[in-house]
Structure 1
Amino acid sequence: MADEEGGKSKKLIMIGGLVIGIAIILALAVGGTLYFLDRDSSEESEGSAIPGLEGSDIQLGTASYYSFEEAFVTPLISSDRRQRFMQLSLAVKGDNPQVTQAIETHMPRIKNDLNRLFTGQDYQTLQTPEGKMQLQISAAEVVQKVVEREGVQIDQVLITNFVLQ
């Protein structure tokens, strides 16, 4: 009976040692992974500058977006004499936060000018990719014309939702 108790205690000690050993190996693996991941991210942040542009004023990752809360819904001109509508959601991309402030300041004027632009569109033209691209460019010109009073420049107007009916 004493041999059985001695054998059980040896097995428990071996199992306990094995569990502790596995826990140590896992802790070292996690620690090593975190060390190398942190080291890679610090190297990327140091090397994020574009070669040859060390003295320029370009800053990466400074884009600012403004999304219009409500979609524009306007009637369209159609050659088939049916009543057609367009629903359009927009976002404006700029290179600094002043773009958002300028858009909010002049929001009524921007909405008015965009509604006037959208109402005069042709249904058949908007069904083509070229028509959609031209609409996007025209919308960017309208917004830029209004916000340039504040001395800011937009990059582009993005169409985030587009539905024709």
Structure 2
Amino acid sequence: MNKKIIIIAVGVVVLIAAAGGTWFFMHEAEPVPVAVGADGKPVGDAVITKKEPMYFSMAPSFVVNLQNERGIRFLMVEIDLMSRKDDVFSRIEQYEPRIRNDLLMLFSKLDRDAIATAEQRQGLQSEALVAINKVLTSESGKDGVEAVYFTKFVIQ
């Protein structure tokens, strides 16, 4: 009876060791981010931590007439911007009239069919992001807005 218990215990230990060994050798380790210098090469053993996002509201709302509509249709969009860089929002405030102009021109070219689906609205978000960063780059030499969020999107 004692022999059976010992054999079963040894078998269980071997199975646990085999499972642990398999997991150890098959498990991929998480990559550790490292700081990168201007030359693109790692700098020391410093770990990069992402800075907390900051948000900027483009108030007031953007309101435009939609194109090719039988009746009068309006689009109202409220936009919030996200960045992790400290100086971006001061530059946005400085160039806000041009940014608002370019966004109004972008939105005023739309018709209802161009913004009917969620995918089309996401495409519009991408176009708005490009337009904003284009103004920042042409005026100050650097962009910095990472995301555009539509916090209100109303078609009436």
TM-score in same-fold range (> 0.5):
yes
1:157 equivalent in alignment to 2:148:
yes
1:90 equivalent in alignment to 2:90:
no
Task: Tell me, in whole angstroms, the C-alpha distance in 2 between the residues paired with 1:56 and 1:116.
Answer: 44
- What is the RMSD computed on CA atoms of the aligned residues? 1.9
Which structure is larger by alpha-carbon Rg, 1 or 2?
A: 1
1:106 equivalent in alignment to 2:95:
yes
Deviation at 1:133, TM superposition (A): 1.1
Q: Equivalences for 1:111-122 in 2 at 5 Å? A: 111-122=100-111
Q: Which has the higher helix share?
A: 1
1:132 equivalent in alignment to 2:121:
yes
What corresponds to 2:61 in structure 1?
A: 71
Report the 3-state secondary structure (helix = DSSP H, G, I; strand = E; otherwise coil) of the residue aligned with 1:111: helix
Report the 3-state secondary structure (helix = DSSP H, G, I; strand = E; otherwise coil) of the residue aligned with 2:134: helix
Deviation at 1:56, TM superposition (A): 5.2
Percent sequence identity is 30
Gaps of 5+ in 2: 1-29, 35-44
Deviation at 1:60, TM superposition (A): 2.4
Q: Is 2:62–2:76's contact at 8 Å kept on the other side of the alignment?
A: yes
Q: How many residues align?
A: 115
- AA partner of residue 129 (structure 1): A
Report the 3-state secondary structure (helix = DSSP H, G, I; strand = E; otherwise coil) of the residue aligned with 2:79: strand
Matching residue within 101, 113, 130 for 1:141: 130
Task: Tell me, in whole angstroms, the C-alpha distance in 2 between the residues paired with 1:94 and 1:152.
Answer: 10
